[in-house]
Every structure is written in C-alpha cells, then in structure tokens.
Amino acid sequence: MAGSSFPTALISGGAHGIGAAIARRLASGGYRVVVADIDPARQADAEAAGARFVAADVGSEPDVGRLVDGIAAAEGRLDALVCNAGIMIRKPIAELSLSEWSRVLATNLTSIFLLARAAEPMLRRAKGAIVTIASTRARMSEPNTEAYAASKGGVVALTHALALSLGPDVRVNCISPGWIDVRGEKLTAADHAQHPAGRVGRPEDIAALAAFLLGPESGFVTGAEFVADGGMTRKMIYEE
C-alpha cells in the first residue's frame, strides 16, 4: 500500500536463519517487512514470518534497482534496511576461483553498497537506520575462508563509512554474530560450555539487537560494531 503509515523494513537474505528471525521480530513490532532472497522457493517461509517476498539477487545492480523501486511503489517509504545476505565458499586458496571469490564479495559486501545507494533517498526522508550483518570472522578465522573473512571485514569498514556519509539523517550500525544455531543442530553440553555466556547463540538473539539498533532508543548510536558471540572472542584459549 503506497504511502503507508506503518514503518517499512527491507531485509536482504531474510527468508531463513538470522534474517527470518529479524523479519519475525520487526513484523511483530509493527513494521511492514519486505524480504529479498535469491531463492524463490523460500517465498512461503518469508510470508510465514509476516513479510512480502521479492526474489532478487542483491549482488546485482539491476535487481537491487527493481527491488527498491518496488518498495517505493508498493509501500511508499523505507525506514529500516537490514543487510543480512551472505554466503560462504570454503576452499583452499589454491582451489578458489576468481569467480567464486567475486561471488562471495558481491553477495556479502557489494550488496550493501548497492542497497544503501538505492535506498538512500527513502531512508533519508524517513530518518531511518541501516543494520549490517558482519561476523566475528571479520577478526578471527578458520583455514580456507579467505573470501568470507575478507567480505565480513569489509562489512565492518563499510558500516562506519556509511554512517559518516549518511548521517545525521540515517544511522548505520553493524552486528557481528558468533556461533548462531540457525539449523537446529544437535548441540552438546561442551558446545554450550565453551561460551562464556553458557550457551550457543540463537537467531532471536541477533533479531533483538537488530530491532534495538533500528529503533528510537538507539538514536545516539551510529558507526558502531556490536559483537554478539556469547563472549567467545574475549576468551583466551591455551593448548596444554
């Protein structure tokens, strides 16, 4: 409905995992939610979360243009942008092709630039906010994750750059999740115990933080990175 009086949120990669949890949280909080996902088969999942689904590759400039134009036509406003789309290709660097490297960066990092650029006019009018989803892998790694780590480090840096460029009209903050159980894994007591918080994270943990950063109570917060990892990156680990 064009010209809606309800705040509108766009979530990339919002049909599953952390993105779906954010969609549910924002929809329950009174937002009109638009979910963009590359997989049309996830439409039912997005709609179950209370969102309007748009099939789009957010690493594609034409797709992002159509997506944002569609929100301007259908909802008439955009108050919140959550840049959550992300993929990982785990390969030894000698086997990682340039096209695979580029695909990861396009989905995880370039998409944020494209979405922020296209959505800027509506976000400025709404005095809105952006939340990007990075990862603790921006600062720590496992072997064979070069493309993912590079993309997530870029997300952290792009976040504070956007905060300076879009402020004071638009606030921009970043969440870096740690281990979040998005698949309902069979977790052990040891999995939980290794976290100083006493448990593995849940998608709802990230959704709650995202909702805060998009809302008025965080009005003095911009350009910041929030690590939500149960304390793991602060834990010293020694091998005996």
CATH code for position 90 = 3.40.50.720
3 falls within a domain? no
Structure tokens at 184: 């309902």
Q: What is the pTM of this model?
A: 0.95
Residues 6+ apart with CB under 8 A from 144: 90, 91, 92, 93
Residue with tokens 């030894």: 92
Measured CA to CA, the distance from residue 121 to residue 123 in angstroms comes to 6
User: How high is the pLDDT of residue 75?
Assistant: 97
pLDDT at 101: 98
**pLDDT(2) > 60:** no
pLDDT band at 4 (very low <50, low <70, confident <90, very high): low
Structural domain contains residue 240 = no
pLDDT tier for residue 1 given thresholds of 50, 70 and 90? very low
Residue 143: domain span: 8-234
Q: Is residue 114 part of a domain?
A: yes
Q: Which of 240, 223, 207, 206 is nearest to 136 (CA)?
A: 206
Task: Work out how many domains the chain is built from and give that number.
Answer: 1
Please check whether residue 83 lies inside any domain of the structure. yes
Whether 240 shows a pLDDT value over 90: the answer reads no
**Residue 2: inside a domain:** no
Confidence (pLDDT) at 184: 83
Mean pLDDT (the chain, rounded): 95
| Residue 233 CA: distances (Å) to CA of 49, 66, 139, 228, 236 | 31, 39, 9, 10, 8
Residue 3 pLDDT > 70, yes or no? Answer: no
Average pLDDT over residues 132-138: 95
pLDDT classification of 228: cutoffs 50, 70, 90:
very high
- Is the residue at 152 inside a domain? yes
Q: Express each pLDDT in 10-65 by its tens digit.
A: 999 999 999 999 999 999 999 999 999 999 999 998 998 889 999 999 999 999 99
Active-site positions?
148
Phi/psi-derived region of residue 13, left when phi > 0, alpha when psi is between -120 and 50, beta in every other case: left
**Beta pairing partners, 82:** 11, 131
> How far lies 54's CA from each of 40, 43, 57, 65, in Å?
8, 8, 10, 12
